[in-house]
């Protein structure tokens, strides 16, 4: 391999890296664009199929989940609508449309229950919920870069100013690492479910013969904390806990 | 022994540690052996499973104890119960036993459940199963007959319950009081109620309260739970049977005497003993005929307020200047669905600029009624001087006792406004006011719906982190660290070269020596070459050993090389080289040819530099 060939290959690699997001965006846009007119023509089932296909194809986009939530809402499937609004909110945490529609959909349910249990750390890391995981990763990337640049500058200029800058950036870097890790934990480990049947019994154990603690209705949002055979342990924000069959819950 | 020693000698003592250890270990071994043997026996014994009930005929008010006994083991998993749709199942815990009778060991575990019938009929409780070591064991089916409660009238029974409704034909939103009364002539414990009201908004009333009531000449204690109900829609609405579970204390079986009117055992502590009979009481379903609110005389501003209300208003100041603020407080209080109190927007006219505050709601819950008050406050800023009037505030409600709508209103309150002492023409524009400061009707929400879908193609970029982008991201995170480490290494090396003389001298000493060797001409005089070579090697040695000058003897070099972790062979070779070249410088005849001398010098340098 000559030096010229090597340089050409490196050039192609970087061009590919730069153009990759644009290519993906183009593909996603093409996949989703036929669904929106269908929605506006009240052909909700067809629109939902297209949105679902895009999601099954690996597209992770808050606006897509939001549109799918709207479509299910129009189709009368409140649990699926709520579930997709929740997913949309994870990806678009500051989007007011998503928040308004989720709140409205929850208000249409019998229990009007948003049982998503806030984590204790959320009161300390209060900003975590305002950024999605992608934004957290980006913030971590830039803070990391800034920190190491500050470290490099400090090699030649060991002044109080560079020391302060390094310490501040180090603090930010630690916070960014913790925040990103926590957000990642929230999105991948914490499971949210929506009640599917009109009414379900929530038992004290993973057996139908155990005591019924309380009842929930279609569309209630719950936190899933544990799994046992074909049962889920669910928790509500009001500290109520219990077990119900997995088939009663959509995730 | 130790105690005896202490008593005799008066000194403290401690048991010999070795003896204690042996004793403890022995006891432990015996206990372990006992458990291992008994467990082994239990496993080896045939396992049997049986189910039993304490009664096969019962009424809807009774419960039956359902026990499943697993014999031959003490560690069986909980049994899988058969479908029991006609019963409510309450687990009552488990117990295990172990017996040795005439040398025969037996063990068992018993799981207990209470079955509370939901309906009458003959039911077969199917086999319960227990899975032990992969083998399923089943119980035999059991038949239960559930009958209606005995036809004994309530008044002849020890415990009975009824639901009392204050009004069976209420209007929509009119308060109805539903009272569950549990009459009892014996002590009751562990009371649980299951009361369902569908089609009503509920408010728990004060209580529960305990009363003494005479029913058909018999004195009962009555435990009463009241709920205020507000019907939500007209038509027939059924309040289903409420289910009350309790334990009736039967003292007669233990031969104890009891005061029937000391129901919670507050008398002698000996009265707390007695057998508990679990009872399930049911009230009769009650159908209410909810009346719609009449259309006739229905006022324009009516917010479904039903009950009995009064309204009052007062101004905080009755004399103010233009631009000053006075607070108008309007209080609506009464009995009924107070939560629904809502005032129509008063007609303020052009005289005031008005700021409405958040209303305050206070509810009082009594034993029979829900009452409360709602306080509205308005900050009024008069816009012109003169004798103004805070307008009357109107309230419409439906009086269910009269069966008609009632309109009440506050008095218009006079307000004297003098011209302002300063130029305080307020032109603040707030929501609810137009640009001229006149109040306008606030925008009222008529309907609600979800917001439309997002359509812009640019918003549909995937936010997922793919494997490729994940790797790139990881590289992006680690790259600055790597670059920093490289930069830091280079910088430190530069600094060392700059400030560490020994390092600086040794760094490149080999290259410099080689360069000098290359500059030597093989055609030169061998003695001159030998002198040059000696100088080059001494200089090289001076650089790597950080020695000053080149006038160093071979003995000094040997000593320094020895400290510098050079091998004996290297030291020997160096010493010989230096001595030989010193000799050659002054030799009368030329010895080795210059090329060979140069080659020897290069070889020595390579050797010292650890070059292959």
Give DSSP secondary structure letters for B248-294: EEE-GGGT----TT-TT--S-GGGG--EEEEEEEEPPPEEEEEBPPP
pLDDT (0 to 100) of residue B433: 46
Helix (H, G, I), strand (E, B) or coil at B310: strand
pLDDT (0 to 100) of residue B331: 92
With respect to residue B596, please indicate whether it lies within any of the assigned structural domains: yes
* pLDDT per residue as tens digits for the range B79-92: 888 888 888 887 87
pLDDT band at B34 (very low <50, low <70, confident <90, very high): low
A60 contacts in chain B (CB < 8 Å) = 462-464
Helix (H, G, I), strand (E, B) or coil at B15: coil
With respect to residue B131, please indicate whether it lies within any of the assigned structural domains: yes
- What CA–CA distance (Å, rounded) separates A173 from B611? 46
Sequence-distant (6+) residues with CB within 8 A of A178 are: A125
Residue B14 has pLDDT above 60, yes or no: no
A17 contacts in chain B (CB < 8 Å) = 472
Asked if A127 reaches chain B (Cβ–Cβ under 8 Å), the answer is: no
Do A21 and B465 make contact, defined as CB atoms within 8 angstroms?
no
- What CA–CA distance (Å, rounded) separates B510 from B540? 7
| Nearest-CA distance A147 → chain B (Å) | 9
B253 within 8 A of B274, measured Cβ to Cβ = yes
User: Among A12-16, A130-134, B267-271, B523-527, which stretch is predicted with the lowest mean pLDDT?
Assistant: B267-271
A183 contacts in chain B (CB < 8 Å) = none
B461 → chain A, closest CA residue: A25
B483 within 8 A of A148, measured Cβ to Cβ = yes
Q: What is the mean pLDDT of chain A?
A: 86
Q: How far apart are the first and last CA of chain A?
A: 52
Residue B11 has pLDDT above 50, yes or no: no
Do B448 and A104 make contact, defined as CB atoms within 8 angstroms?
yes
- What CA–CA distance (Å, rounded) separates A66 from A39? 13
A230 within 8 A of A218, measured Cβ to Cβ = no
Same domain, B140 and B256: no
Domain ranges for chain A, please list them. Answer: 3-109, 122-188, 191-250
- What CA–CA distance (Å, rounded) separates B53 from A172? 68
Residue A21 has pLDDT above 80, yes or no: no
Identify which of A195, A193, A192, A214 has the alpha carbon closest to the alpha carbon of residue A203.
A214
Residue A133 has pLDDT above 80, yes or no: yes
- What CA–CA distance (Å, rounded) separates B423 from B219? 79
Residue B487 C-alpha from the chain's centroid: 48
Mean pLDDT is highest, among A112-121, B457-466, B567-576, for: B567-576
pLDDT (0 to 100) of residue B132: 82
pLDDT (0 to 100) of residue B263: 45
With respect to residue B67, please indicate whether it lies within any of the assigned structural domains: yes
Q: What is the mean pLDDT of chain B?
A: 79
| Domain hosting residue B25, numbered range | 2-38
Least CB–CB distance from A28: residue in B455, B461, B484: B461
Q: How far apart are the first and last CA of chain B?
A: 83
Residue B484 has pLDDT above 90, yes or no: yes
User: Topology of domain A3-109, per CATH?
Assistant: 1.25.40
DSSP string, B330-392: EEEEEEE-GGG--PPPP--TTSEEEEEPPPEEEEEE-SS-EEEEEEEEEEEEESS-EEEEEPP
* pLDDT per residue as tens digits for the range B120-137: 889 998 889 888 877 888
Residue A194: its H or E element: strand A191-195
B416 against B118, higher pLDDT: B416
| Nearest-CA distance A120 → chain B (Å) | 27
Measure the CA angle with vertex A98, ends A92 and A99; round to 5°.
Answer: 105
- What is the DSSP secondary structure assignment for residue A123, as one 8-state letter? H
- What CA–CA distance (Å, rounded) separates A122 from A1? 54
Same domain, B227 and B106: no
With respect to residue B404, please indicate whether it lies within any of the assigned structural domains: yes
* pLDDT per residue as tens digits for the range B165-197: 999 999 988 999 999 999 998 888 888 888 888
Residue range A39-63: mean pLDDT, rounded:
90
B342 within 8 A of B318, measured Cβ to Cβ = no
Q: Which of A209, A214, A215, A219 to mutate to test the interface with B (most CBs of B within 10 A)?
A: A209
Same domain, B207 and B117: no
Residue range A10-19: mean pLDDT, rounded:
57
Q: Which of B459, B476, B485, B487 to mutate to test the interface with A (most CBs of A within 10 A)?
A: B459
Residue B119 has pLDDT above 70, yes or no: yes
Final residue belonging to a domain, choices B381, B398, B418: B418
- What is the DSSP secondary structure assignment for residue A196, as one 8-state letter? -
* pLDDT per residue as tens digits for the range B405-455: 999 988 888 888 888 665 444 444 444 444 454 555 566 666 778 898 988
Residue B109: count other Cβ atoms within 10 Å of its Cβ. 23
Do A105 and B450 make contact, defined as CB atoms within 8 angstroms?
yes
- What is the DSSP secondary structure assignment for residue B240, as one 8-state letter? P
Peptide bond into B387 cis (omega under 30): no
With respect to residue B186, please indicate whether it lies within any of the assigned structural domains: yes
A214 contacts in chain B (CB < 8 Å) = none
Q: What is the CATH number for B267?
A: 2.60.40
Residue range B209-215: mean pLDDT, rounded:
87
With respect to residue B251, please indicate whether it lies within any of the assigned structural domains: yes
B486 → chain A, closest CA residue: A152
Identify which of B260, B70, B306 has the alpha carbon closest to the alpha carbon of residue B159.
B260
Measure the CA angle with vertex B357, ends B353 and B361; round to 5°.
Answer: 145
List, as own/partner pairs, every contact residues A101-108 make where C-beta atoms lie below 8 angstroms and the sequence separation is at least 24, other chains included: A101/A66, A101/A69, A101/A70, A101/A73, A101/B450, A101/B451, A102/A69, A104/B448, A104/B449, A104/B450, A105/A69, A105/A73, A105/A78, A105/A81, A105/A219, A105/B450, A106/A82, A106/A219, A106/A221, A108/A78, A108/A219
Do B460 and A64 make contact, defined as CB atoms within 8 angstroms?
yes
Sequence-distant (6+) residues with CB within 8 A of B582 are: B534, B554
Mean pLDDT is highest, among B9-13, B38-42, B418-422, for: B418-422
B451 contacts in chain A (CB < 8 Å) = 97, 100-101
Same domain, B113 and B202: no
B347 within 8 A of B318, measured Cβ to Cβ = no
Residue A115 C-alpha from the chain's centroid: 16
Asked if A77 reaches chain B (Cβ–Cβ under 8 Å), the answer is: no
A155 contacts in chain B (CB < 8 Å) = 487-488, 491
Same domain, B13 and B117: no
Architecture category of domain A191-250 in CATH: Roll (2.30)
A68 → chain B, closest CA residue: B453
Residue B220 has, within 13 A of its CA and on its CB side, a CA count of 22
Same domain, B160 and B259: yes
B535 within 8 A of B584, measured Cβ to Cβ = no
Same domain, B33 and B96: no
pLDDT (0 to 100) of residue B18: 46
Same domain, B248 and B225: yes
Identify which of B311, B303, B367 has the alpha carbon closest to the alpha carbon of residue B337.
B303
With respect to residue B480, please indicate whether it lies within any of the assigned structural domains: no
Asked if A100 reaches chain B (Cβ–Cβ under 8 Å), the answer is: yes
Residue range B574-595: mean pLDDT, rounded:
77
Asked if A105 reaches chain B (Cβ–Cβ under 8 Å), the answer is: yes
Do A59 and B491 make contact, defined as CB atoms within 8 angstroms?
no
Residue B459: count other Cβ atoms within 10 Å of its Cβ. 19
Residue B442 C-alpha from the chain's centroid: 41
A151 contacts in chain B (CB < 8 Å) = 484
With respect to residue B274, please indicate whether it lies within any of the assigned structural domains: yes
Final residue belonging to a domain, choices B290, B316, B351: B290
Residue A16 has pLDDT above 60, yes or no: no
User: Among A230-244, B170-184, B246-260, which stretch is predicted with the lowest mean pLDDT?
Assistant: B246-260
pLDDT (0 to 100) of residue A190: 77
Mapped to the 3 state alphabet, what secondary structure does A129-166 carry?
A: HHCCHHHHHHHHHHHHHHHHHHHHHHHHCCCHHHHHHH
Sequence-distant (6+) residues with CB within 8 A of B558 are: B571, B574, B575
Residue A207 has, within 13 A of its CA and on its CB side, a CA count of 15
Least CB–CB distance from A63: residue in B78, B90, B459: B459
B84 contacts in chain A (CB < 8 Å) = 209
List, as own/partner pairs, every contact residues A50-58 make where C-beta atoms lie below 8 angstroms and the sequence separation is at least 24, other chains included: A54/A28, A57/A31, A58/B462, A58/B464, A58/B466
Least CB–CB distance from B451: residue in A24, A100, A132: A100
pLDDT band at A165 (very low <50, low <70, confident <90, very high): very high
A188 against B229, higher pLDDT: B229
Would you tell me which residues 163-202 of chain A have a C-beta closer than 8 angstroms to some C-beta of chain B? none
Kindly provide the b/e burial profile for residues B368-383, where b requires at least 16 CB atoms within 10 angstroms of the residue's own CB: ebbbbbbebbbebbbb
Torsion of CA A134, A135, A137, A141, to 10 degrees: 140
Do B450 and A24 make contact, defined as CB atoms within 8 angstroms?
no
- What CA–CA distance (Å, rounded) separates A103 from B338? 27
B453 → chain A, closest CA residue: A67
Do A137 and B473 make contact, defined as CB atoms within 8 angstroms?
yes
In chain B, the number of structural domains is 5
Sequence-distant (6+) residues with CB within 8 A of B519 are: none
pLDDT band at A84 (very low <50, low <70, confident <90, very high): very high
Q: What is the CATH number for B367?
A: 2.60.40.740
pLDDT band at B42 (very low <50, low <70, confident <90, very high): very low
A244 against B607, higher pLDDT: A244
| Nearest-CA distance A58 → chain B (Å) | 8
Residue range A42-46: mean pLDDT, rounded:
91
Burial class (CB in 10 A: 0-12, 13-18, 19+), B9: exposed
Residue range A31-50: mean pLDDT, rounded:
89
Residue B316 C-alpha from the chain's centroid: 47
Give the CA distances from residue A54 to residues A32, A61, B340, in Å, rounded to whole numbers and listed in that order.
Answer: 7, 10, 47
Same domain, B168 and B286: yes
A62 within 8 A of A38, measured Cβ to Cβ = no
| Nearest-CA distance A125 → chain B (Å) | 22
Residue A16: its H or E element: helix A3-32
Give the CA distances from residue B116 to residues B85, B119, B143, B246, B581, in Å, rounded to whole numbers and listed in that order.
Answer: 11, 9, 15, 12, 116
Final residue belonging to a domain, choices B147, B180, B209: B147
B575 within 8 A of B582, measured Cβ to Cβ = no
């Amino acid at each position: 391999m000559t030096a010229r060939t090597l340089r050409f290959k490196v050039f192609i690699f970087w061009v590919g890296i730069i153009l990759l997001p644009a290519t993906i965006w183009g593909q996603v846009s093409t996949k989703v664009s036929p669904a929106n007119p269908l929605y506006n023509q009240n052909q909700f089932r067809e629109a939902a199929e297209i949105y679902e296909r895009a999601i099954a194809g690996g597209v992770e986009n808050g606006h897509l989940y939001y549109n799918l939530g709207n479509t299910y809402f129009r189709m009368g499937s409140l649990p699926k609508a709520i579930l997709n609004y929740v997913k949309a909110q994870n990806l678009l945490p500051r989007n007011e449309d998503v928040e308004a529609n989720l709140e409205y959909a929850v208000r249409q349910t019998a229990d009007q229950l948003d049982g998503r249990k806030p984590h204790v750390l959320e009161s300390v890391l209060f900003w975590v919920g305002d950024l999605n995981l992608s934004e957290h990763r980006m913030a971590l990337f830039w803070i990391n870069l800034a920190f190491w640049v500050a470290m490099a500058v400090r090699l030649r200029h060991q002044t109080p100013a560079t020391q302060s800058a390094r310490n501040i950036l180090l603090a930010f870097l630690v916070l960014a690492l913790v925040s990103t890790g926590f957000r990642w934990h929230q999105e991948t480990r914490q499971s949210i479910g929506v009640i599917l049947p009109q009414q379900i019994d929530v038992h004290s154990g993973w057996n139908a013969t155990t005591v019924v603690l309380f009842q929930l209705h279609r569309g209630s949002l719950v936190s899933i904390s544990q799994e046992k055979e074909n049962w889920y342990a669910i928790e509500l924000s009001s500290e109520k806990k219990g077990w119900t069959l997995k088939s009663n819950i959509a995730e | 022994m130790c105690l005896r020693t202490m008593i005799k000698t008066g000194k403290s003592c401690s048991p010999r540690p070795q003896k204690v250890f042996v004793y403890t270990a022995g006891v432990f071994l015996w206990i372990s052996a006992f458990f291992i043997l008994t467990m082994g026996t239990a496993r080896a014994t045939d396992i049997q499973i049986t189910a039993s009930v304490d009664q096969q005929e019962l009424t809807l008010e009774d419960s039956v104890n359902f026990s499943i006994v697993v014999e031959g083991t003490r560690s069986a998993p909980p049994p899988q119960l058969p479908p029991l749709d006609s019963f409510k199942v309450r687990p009552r815990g488990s117990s295990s036993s172990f017996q040795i009778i005439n040398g025969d060991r037996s063990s068992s575990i018993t799981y207990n459940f209470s079955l509370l019938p939901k309906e009458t009929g003959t039911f077969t409780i199917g086999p319960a199963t227990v899975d032990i070591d992969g083998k399923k064991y089943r119980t035999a089916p059991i038949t239960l007959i559930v009958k209606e409660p005995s036809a004994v009238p309530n008044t002849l029974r020890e415990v009975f319950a009824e639901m009392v409704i204050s009004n069976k034909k209420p209007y929509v939103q009119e308060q109805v009081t539903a009272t569950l009364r549990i009459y009892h002539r014996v002590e009751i414990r562990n009371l649980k109620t299951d009361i369902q009201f569908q089609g009503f908004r509920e408010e728990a009333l004060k209580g529960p309260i305990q009363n003494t009531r005479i029913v058909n000449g018999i004195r009962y204690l009555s435990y009463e739970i009241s709920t205020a109900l507000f019907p939500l829609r007209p038509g027939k609405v059924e309040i289903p049977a409420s289910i009350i579970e309790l334990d009736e204390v039967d003292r007669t079986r233990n031969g104890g005497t009891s005061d029937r009117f000391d129901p919670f055992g507050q008398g002698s502590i000996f009265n707390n003993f007695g057998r508990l009979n679990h009872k399930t009481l049911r009230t009769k379903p009650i159908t209410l005929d909810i009346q719609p609110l009449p259309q006739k005389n229905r006022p324009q501003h009516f917010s479904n307020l039903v009950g009995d209300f009064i309204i009052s208003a007062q101004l905080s100041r009755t004399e103010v200047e233009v631009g000053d603020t006075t607070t108008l407080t309007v209080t609506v209080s009464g009995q009924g669905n107070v939560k629904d109190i809502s005032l129509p927007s008063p007609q303020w006219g052009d005289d005031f600029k008005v700021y409405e505050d958040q209303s305050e709601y206070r509810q009082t819950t009594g034993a029979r009624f829900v009452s409360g008050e709602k306080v509205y406050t308005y900050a009024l800023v008069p816009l012109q001087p003169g004798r103004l009037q805070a307008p009357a505030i109107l309230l419409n409600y439906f009086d269910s006792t009269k069966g008609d709508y009632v309109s009440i209103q506050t008095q218009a309150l006079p307000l004297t406004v003098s011209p302002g002492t300063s130029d305080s023409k307020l032109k603040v524009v707030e929501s609810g006011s137009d640009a001229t400061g006149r109040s306008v009707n606030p925008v009222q929400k008529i309907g609600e719906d979800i917001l439309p879908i997002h359509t812009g193609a640019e918003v549909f970029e995937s936010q997922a982190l793919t494997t490729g982008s994940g790797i790139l991201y990881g590289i992006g995170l680690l790259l600055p660290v790597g670059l920093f480490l490289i930069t830091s290494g280079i910088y430190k090396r530069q600094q060392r070269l700059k400030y560490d003389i020994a390092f600086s001298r040794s760094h490149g000493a080999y290259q410099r020596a080689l360069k000098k060797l290359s500059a030597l001409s093989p055609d030169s005089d061998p003695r001159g070459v030998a002198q040059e070579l000696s100088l080059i090697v001494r200089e090289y040695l001076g650089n790597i050993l950080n020695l000053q000058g080149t006038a160093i003897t071979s003995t000094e070099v040997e000593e320094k090389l020895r400290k510098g972790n050079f091998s004996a062979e290297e030291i020997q070779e160096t010493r010989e080289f230096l001595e030989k070249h010193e000799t050659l410088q002054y030799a009368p005849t030329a010895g080795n040819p210059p090329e060979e001398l140069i080659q020897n010098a290069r070889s020595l340098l390579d050797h010292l530099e650890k070059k292959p």
